[in-house]
Amino acid sequence: MIVTLTLNPSLDRTLEITELVRGDVIRATAVHLEPGGKGVNVSRALLANGVPSRAVLPCGGDDGAELVRLLVAAGVDVRAIPISGRTRSNITIAEPDGTVTKINEPGPELTADEVTGLIDRALTEAGAGGCVVLCGSAPPGLPLADLTALYERVVAAGDRLVVDTSGPALRAAAVAGADLVKPNRDEVAEVVGRPMRSLDDVVEAARELRSWGAGTVLASLGADGAVLVDDTGVLFGSAPVPRLRSSVGAGDALLAGFLTRWAAGPARGRDLAAAALAEGLAWGAAAVSLPGSRMPGPADIRRDSVRLDTRPEDLRQLLTPN
C-alpha cells in the first residue's frame, strides 16, 4: 500500500487571470478550489489512475473540514488526524502563458502528540513492507530532530521511505536512509550548496545525496525533464508539453507516476527504473497541461511523448536558465 503523509496540507484556491498587474483590480476568468499539499496531490494522482493509496494528514478548523470534504467527495481514501490548529489556505494566480504566482500560508504548529499520532497512523495504514511517502514542507516549529525521528521510524519499520522536501529536511532524509528522494532543481542546488547549470551538475549532486545514504534520487528539472540516479546508473528523460497551463502539482504527478512502477519492486534493475521514469514523465507532462492543481487521469496521459535516454552521454548539456 502506498500511503502519503502530508504534515502541512492546504486548501488551494487557483485564480486564472489574463494578466497580473500589481495594484490593479483584476477579474478572474476561472476559479478552482482543490485539496492541496504535495502528499495529497500524490494520492489524488494515484486515485485518478486507479492505483490504491491512502492519504494521512492533520485536519483543523473550517478549512481543514473543507479539505477533507473535498478529498472524500473525490473518492480519496483519507485518514484525517484532528489537530488544535487551523489548516492553512493557499492562493495560486495562473496566467495564460503558464506563469504561476503562489501565496502560501505558513500553516499551524503541531504538538508532539499530534506528530506522533500522524506517523503512527501512517505506519499502521502502510502495513508490513508498505511505502510511506512523506511530502512537502514541515509545519512551523517542528524541530529537525523530530522530523529525522519520523524518517528513522519508517526505515526501522521496514517500510520504503519516499521523501519530497527541501533544505535540511531533505539532507536529513538522505542521511536517514530514505529509499527515494525527489527534489527539484532548486532544492538539489540548495542542499548541496552549488548551482545546477548542466545535467552533469545534477548527476553529481544526486550522487552526493546517495553518498549521504539515499537509495534512489529522482530530480525533477521542469521543462528539461528529470534525472534518475540509482544503483543501476543514470537515466535522463523529458516529455514535451504542447500547451503549458499550470505547473502546480506537476512534480507530485511525476512522483505518483514513478511510484506506480517503482513501488512494485525498486530493486529489479535498470528496465524497471527506466519504466518508472518514463511513467513519471508522462504523468508530469500531463499535469502541466491541466488547469490549477488538477491531477491527470488516463485520458490525459500521453506515454508516446516521452523521450528516454538510458545512456546519457552528453551530461554537459546545459539546463534552461531559471
For residue 119, what is the domain's CATH number? 3.40.1190.20
Domain membership of residue 29 (yes or no) is no
Check whether 268 has a pLDDT greater than 80: no
The interaxial angle of helices 250-262 and 270-288, nearest 10 deg, is 150
The predicted pLDDT at position 314 comes to: 57
What pTM was estimated for this model as a whole? Answer: 0.89
Confidence class of residue 49 from pLDDT cuts 50, 70 and 90?
very high
Q: For residues 243-250, give the mean pLDDT.
A: 76
Calpha distance 296→45 (Å, rounded)? 6
Domain membership of residue 23 (yes or no) is no
Domain membership of residue 288 (yes or no) is yes
3 state DSSP class of 146: helix
Total structural domains in the chain? 1
Check whether 65 has a pLDDT greater than 90: yes
Domain membership of residue 316 (yes or no) is no
Q: What strands, in cross-sheet order, belong to the sheet with 10-16?
A: 30-36, 10-16, 88-94, 100-103
Domain membership of residue 82 (yes or no) is yes
Nearest to 159 by CA among 320, 317, 305, 5: 5
Exposure string of 308-321, with b = 16+ CB inside 10 Å and e = fewer, is bebebeeeeeebee
Q: For residues 140-167, give the mean pLDDT.
A: 94
Confidence class of residue 243 from pLDDT cuts 50, 70 and 90?
confident
Among the options 200, 252, 304, 309, which is catalytic? Answer: 252
Domain membership of residue 99 (yes or no) is no
* Residue 221, domain extent: 2-12+38-86+110-309
Domain membership of residue 94 (yes or no) is no
The predicted pLDDT at position 151 comes to: 96
Q: For residues 25-38, give the mean pLDDT.
A: 91
Q: Tell me what percent of the residues of the chain surpass a pLDDT of 70.
A: 95
Check whether 309 has a pLDDT greater than 90: no
Check whether 313 has a pLDDT greater than 70: no
Q: Is-catalytic flag, 252? A: yes
Confidence class of residue 203 from pLDDT cuts 50, 70 and 90?
very high
Q: For residues 166-195, give the mean pLDDT.
A: 96
Check whether 6 has a pLDDT greater than 80: yes
The predicted pLDDT at position 257 comes to: 96
Domain membership of residue 31 (yes or no) is no
